[in-house]
Amino acid sequence: MSNVAKNSVLAAALLAGTAFPAFADGEVNIYSYRQPDLIKPVLDAFTKETGIKTNVLFLDKGLVERIKAEGENSPADVIMTVDIARLTEAKEGGVVQPLKDAKIEGNIPANVRDADGEWFGLTTRGRVVYASKERVAQNEITYEELADPKWKGKICMRDGQHSYNIGLIASMIAHNGAEATEKWLTGLKNNLVRKPDGNDRSQAKAIWAGECDLALGNTYYVGLMLTDTKEPEQKEWAGAIKVLFPNAKDRGTHVNVSGMALAKYAPDKDNAVKLMEFLSSKEAQQIYAEQVFEYPVLPGAEPSAVVKSFGEIHPDKLPLTDVAKYRKQASELVDKVGLNDGPAK
């Protein structure tokens, strides 16, 4: 990228009020929906091994729009995202390019990468049920059971429109159809103790505080809470819950995927591909497993001991691309039943 182009993009970023990583030749610029702290350990390992530095621009929304606005002058080399919906969004938005790479394809199974090579899964996480160790006796559950009136006033959750919940709801549509999913969402809404709010950690805290007995959450947050040294009270929250893997005896637990893609106009494509190859490697997969408490996609790679302590996960084998196509309908159903309005008073 020319200095003129770099300066014009930087100026645009400053006008938009967004901090931007420093430009430098021979460095990989990453646009990320993943929290920087979650990817720092693996990026540090990449730099240590290769000498190639990385810059991360974290965005909680608008990543595709940002790259579109920057056009051919975009400094983005690699895109990292938190779920299948945003991977699909990046592909459909035309901000990624196909990559044919034997190393990556050899490490990442076909069912967790795009058939056209426009995105690649890196890790998976289960969308599970957090249950109170003290107040919930059962150790098995299904997603469908969350609509059972026996749980009335005992369930809490984050925003129904959050991508993690939209992914789950989309999977319910894929398996059960829209009509049954609408009925299920209505039952779930009626069982909520309050309006959806907070994040996944907040739900664990609410269970610890006795505000609810069940909640929806991702597996990796439990590992993060159990090992949190900055806010040790989170260990208490995690210690109050047990992880239930829904539908373990039938179709399996819904899983989502974090992933990567090669940006359409990657100015440092060679180093970007080196990073992507590293992220798919056994070393990187092990770092993800140990540091981020997610499930590696590399065949034979093991999750961390903390994650293993939750119990064995039996993932839903429905291809995530078959789930993602229902995400718009899932969002519409959330609004239709008024899930975010909480239970009727």
* C-alpha triplet 20, 22, 24: angle, nearest 5°: 140
The confidence score (pLDDT) of residue 25 equals: 56
User: What is the C-alpha separation between 113 and 86, in angstroms, rounded?
Assistant: 13
The more confidently predicted of residues 345 and 242 is: 242
DSSP type of residue 309: T
* pLDDT tens digits for range 185-232: 999 999 999 999 999 999 999 999 999 999 999 999 999 999 988 899
From residue 333, alpha-carbon distances to 128, 165, 185, 214, 280 in Å are 21, 12, 8, 22, 36
C-beta atoms surrounding 335 within 10 Å: 12
**Is the pLDDT score of 22 beyond 70?**
no
Contact 14, 6 (CB under 8 A): no
How do residues 286-333 score in pLDDT, each as one tens digit? 998 888 899 999 998 899 999 999 999 999 988 888 898 999 999 999
The residue written with tokens 């789930």 in the block is 323
The CATH homologous superfamily of the domain defined by 124-254+310-341:
Periplasmic binding protein-like II (3.40.190.10)
Residue with tokens 């549509």: 173
- Tens-place pLDDT, residues 80-99: 998 888 999 999 999 999 99
Could you tell me the residue ranges of all domains in the chain?
A: 3-122+257-301, 124-254+310-341
- Over residues 151-161, the pLDDT tens digits come to 999 999 999 99
Helix (H, G, I), strand (E, B) or coil at 151: helix
Q: Is the pLDDT of residue 139 over 70?
A: yes
Judging by DSSP bridges, how do beta strands 28-32 and 54-58 pair with one another? parallel
Architecture of domain 3-122+257-301: 3-Layer(aba) Sandwich (3.40)
